[in-house]
Chains A and B, each alone.
Chain A
């Protein structure tokens, strides 16, 4: 398979993640959108690592991205749990107290 086909899959994952982040009102749904975006970027990194002279650098960067995504998910879930404890919902549209 060529590089373009993998980049196409990465683009679809990225766009799905962005739309998921923008339209979901559930906080956990927004988190899943972030995971999709990071995975789309990772597909691109690994594909470039195979098809271009990048070599292993792309794979190593994708490993860092995976670790940082795990860290981000842990912190974001802790924040979501705190939000749920305070508001008894996880609707992100209710998180508007800083506006007023």
Chain B
């Protein structure tokens, strides 16, 4: 068993156990902890998939940003430190049954498809396997520069070495701009929604303020 396989089993198991524990736990704070375990293990899986930039983004934005936001939400909304809102047993039973059925469906679908034939069909006849560009070999972090280039438009990771006059691959400049505007609008909207509001009080002679 190579080290990569061992790491895959460790982090894959941690991701799955964390996800299932999020569902099983009734305590919100513990749910947040298990979510941290699951998302951190998923980041490790990204590293194993040679996606170093996505993995770093996952750690910084998800584990460092979104989960801190969620924990602040828990702290601001819980009336006690161990607040529990229980689901009824019937709902839990039905949810578990439907979940198991959905999992069987998904795993059966994944197992039934020949992925290498499907990817050959998608790539078309003139598929040319991408050689490792960048200054480092794959697995040592060579995705940051091509991802940055792709977000600006050109795609040297796909177009380098193509015969002259062939069609160039599409970049992601426009989605990048849309998502940046989207993020700005969303943050302004969230700040507007969550602003501190003065409670409406009945106007009377003895009302304060």
- In terms of DSSP, what is the predominant structure of the interface of chain A? helix
* Chain B residue contacts of A59, Cβ below 8 A: 51, 53-54, 143, 147
Contact of B115 (CB < 8 Å), options: A52, A55, A79: A52
Q: Is the C-beta of B187 less than 8 angstroms from some C-beta in chain A? A: yes
Q: Which of B16-37 contact A (CB under 8 A)?
A: 16, 19-20, 22-23, 28, 31-32, 35
B186 touches A (CB below 8 Å): yes
- Say yes or no: A75 contacts B190, CB within 8 Å: yes
A40–B50 Cα distance when bound, in Å, is 17
Tell me whether A55 and B130 are in contact in the complex, defined as CB-CB below 8 angstroms, given that A32-B35, A81-B194 are known contacts.
yes
Q: What CA separation (Å) do A9 and B48 show in the bound complex?
A: 14
A32 and B182 in contact, given A49-B51, A78-B193 (Cβ under 8 angstroms):
no
Would A49 and B49 count as touching, CB distance under 8 A?
Answer: yes
In the bound complex, how far is the Cα of B74 from the Cα of A26, in angstroms? Answer: 10
Structural contact, A35 and B190, CB atoms closer than 8 A: no
A8 touches B107 (CB 8 A): yes
Contact indicator B111/A4 (Cβ below 8 Å): yes
Q: Is A63 within 8 A of B106, CB to CB?
A: no
Chain B window 97-129, contacts with chain A (Cβ cutoff 8 Å), 1 for yes, 0 for no: 011001100110011000100111011000101
**Contact (A73, B85) CB under 8 Å given A9-B12, A47-B49, A51-B115:** no
**Considering the complex, which residues of chain A in the window 1-58 have a beta carbon less than 8 Å from any beta carbon of chain B?**
1, 3-9, 11-20, 22-29, 31-33, 35-36, 39, 42-43, 46-47, 49-56
> Taking beta carbons and an 8 Å cutoff, which residues of A are in contact with B?
1, 3-9, 11-20, 22-29, 31-33, 35-36, 39, 42-43, 46-47, 49-56, 59-60, 62-64, 66-75, 77-82, 84-85, 88-91
